[in-house]
Structures are given as C-alpha cells and as structure tokens.
Chain A
C-alpha cells in the first residue's frame, strides 16, 4: 500500500517548512493519503523535521484521528453517544457484524471497510447516526445498512 505511493510522502513534506509545529498537519496529510501512518513514512518525517522518533510515536498514538494500523478504504464511524445509544446504535453495530463480519477496531480482509465507534458526531437530532468517510447517514435502521454497504461495493464481503 505504501510502496505504490512512496513519492507521495515527498510531496506532502515539501508543502511544509522544516519546523516542528507542522508535525500534526503532516501526520494528518499522511493519514489522509494512506489511510494510516506507515512506519517508513514516520521515519521520513523524522528525518525531514529532525525530531526524535519518540515524540512522533507519542503524537501518533495520542490522537484518535491518527492510526498506525491500516484503515479501510471506507471508514465506518458509528456514533455511540447518549442519544444514538438510546436510539439503537448497538443494533447498528450488531447488523454490521452480521453483514461485514466486522467488529469495532477491525478491518475487512480486503481492506475495504473498517469500523470504529465514536462518542458523538454532534447530530443527535437524526440519531442514530453513522459516517462513512465524509458522508453522514442519519435516522438509520439496521435494515438500511445492507443497501448502503452494497452501494459502496460491500457485496463481496457479503
């Protein structure tokens, strides 16, 4: 996954001056490009900014938005905040488990979907809510999920 776009990392780094304060922005860009932070990329960042690997690792493990393990092409974020929880977010997770054999924190073997729960997406009025990448789905019922996943090419996991 990384090798294909190895030149990408160079172009990400070139966008930023060699200053430590741009570390988070760089890591976010890498995360967006590869869906995770490849170890090789971290080493490149370390050399570019001339900072210790330990501070890089510290930041990479601190933020939920950053991940050291690959995430799927489609990242499913199911809201499990209070409103969504009461309106059945657990049923959504149950349905995702049935449809994609996917548990929170996992990724499908083909790398297409990964699942995580979040504490609140700030859309309680349309609870229960989930996001797939940047798109928000509200007022969900478990039986709506199958169609959503197959529209994204999820039938292969079926």
Chain B
C-alpha cells in the first residue's frame, strides 16, 4: 500500500512499522532504543510522528505503529519538534552524561535543566534494550531491579553476575553507552566480572571470551577443534566453497 511520509510517496507492506518504511526511503527519524536486531522496544519515545488518517491527526510512536491504512505521516512538524524537544529535555535530565543525548540536546536547542536534581554521572535511560539483548542471547544475566525513582538495570544482588558469559551484547546495543566494557591484556571486564579472552587460532587476535565460546558451542553444537574469529571463519568457509 502507498503511504505519504513528509510528502514523499512510499510503498509499505501491511503491518509494517512506520519507522521501517521511513528508513527504507531515506527519511531520518531520531531514535534511541531502536536497533534493527531487536525492534519494537518503544520506550524512549523519541521517534514520535504525526499520523493523519481520515482527516484526524494523532501522535504515535513510529517504531511501534503498524501501517494498516493509506495514511499520511509527518516526522518533523512543529508539533512533533516541540514534543520531541520535551522528550529530549526529560531524557537529558535523566542521563546528562550521555554523549548521544547531549548532541540531541544541541540539535533541538534544549535549554540547560535547572529544575531537577539529577545524578550528573548517569548515562542510562532505562530503555531496557540491554535486558532484551541478554534474553535474546539466552543468558538472562541482568534485569531491571527496584522501581520508581530507584529503578535501575543490574545483575541479581548487584554482584558480578554468575550467569554472564561476557559476550558484551548489552553494551553493544546500549544507545547511550551506559554499560562499561573494558578490555586489556587479554581480559574483558563487564558488570564487574572479569573474563579471559581467547585468541583466534589463525590471525591471533582476541575475539571472544572463553565462557561465550563454551556457551555457543553448547547451544549450537559448534565444532571446537579450532578457535576462529568472525573474519577468519568467513575466509575459511569461503575457501571451502571455492575448492
């Protein structure tokens, strides 16, 4: 079906989210909690757009709004910019230390917040993507704990998580860089837990933790005779196909 986004005619499939259609057509909608790997989180509210349908206007979250009609979408109207500015203002009050949010603040000319007493070092906006990433890997090492103003993301008992395999998926999907992952001298530290990294048996680069390798081996029954990093595995597979 045909929908109009900012005046541009776009082809959309029934049930497809507005954000996907916009992306495919090169129309930028700002997002924080969206990744293509885990779409539909819908918690940062940054991707709001105006939908005009049957002569009526409404504001929806584009990463969660399925196209079911021939609608018209405005991603950058005055109303949306005004509302988005407020959202950024609140996100910035919550996580002032995040580089990404600071940039958004500049872009939308959000004034410095004086009303709220905030933790200046905070980067987390509690979008929950990291928890979903950990679930998707199948590890379930972290979750949201407490509620209300004390809510945060943490491993159980706020200790280095027993179940964590150090894959770093949580840090990788985090839109605000709130999860610290450090690597040095063949070690990786995340959630205060230290992991030993293993080297690729071909190129000799560190590429994963032993725990992650064991986990994947068990889950997918990988062959264990050689440790190969992504690049070398691709090469070796390609060679096997050629010869």
Contact = CB atoms under 8 A, between A and B. Distances in A.
B144 A52 contact: no
B171 interface: no
B237 to A, nearest CB: 33
Contacts of A39: 157
Contacts of A62: 145-147
Most chain B C-beta atoms within 10 Å of own C-beta, residue among A52, A54, A58, A61: A54
A53 B156 contact: yes
Interface in A69-98: none
A69 B109 CA distance: 46
Given A52-B163, A53-B162, A53-B163, A58 B157 contact: no
A57 B147 CA distance: 12
Given A39-B157, A52-B163, A53-B156, A58 B145 contact: yes
A56 interface: yes
Interface in B109-147: 140-147
Contacts, number: 33
B145 A61 contact: yes
23 contacts: A39-B157, A52-B141, A52-B163, A53-B140, A53-B156, A53-B162, A53-B163, A54-B140, A54-B142, A54-B155, A54-B156, A54-B161, A54-B163, A56-B156, A57-B143, A57-B145, A57-B156, A58-B144, A58-B145, A61-B146, A61-B147, A62-B146, A62-B147
Interface residues of A, number: 10
A55 interface: yes
A54 B163 CA distance: 9
B46 to A, nearest CB: 25
A60 to B, nearest CB: 9
B118 to A, nearest CB: 22
A121 B143 CA distance: 31
A17 to B, nearest CB: 21
Given A54-B140, A61-B147, 19 more contacts: A39-B157, A52-B140, A53-B140, A53-B163, A54-B141, A54-B142, A54-B156, A54-B161, A54-B163, A55-B140, A55-B143, A56-B156, A57-B145, A57-B156, A57-B157, A58-B144, A61-B146, A62-B146, A62-B147
A58 B143 CA distance: 6
Nearest to A58: B143
A103 B157 CA distance: 24
A115 B200 CA distance: 57
A20 to B, nearest CB: 12
Most chain B C-beta atoms within 10 Å of own C-beta, residue among A55, A56, A58: A58
B45 to A, nearest CB: 22
Contacts of B142: 54
B131 to A, nearest CB: 8
Contacts of B140: 52-55
Interface string A1-20: 00000000000000000000
A118 to B, nearest CB: 14
Interface in A1-58: 39, 52-58
A150 B185 CA distance: 63
A55 B157 CA distance: 11
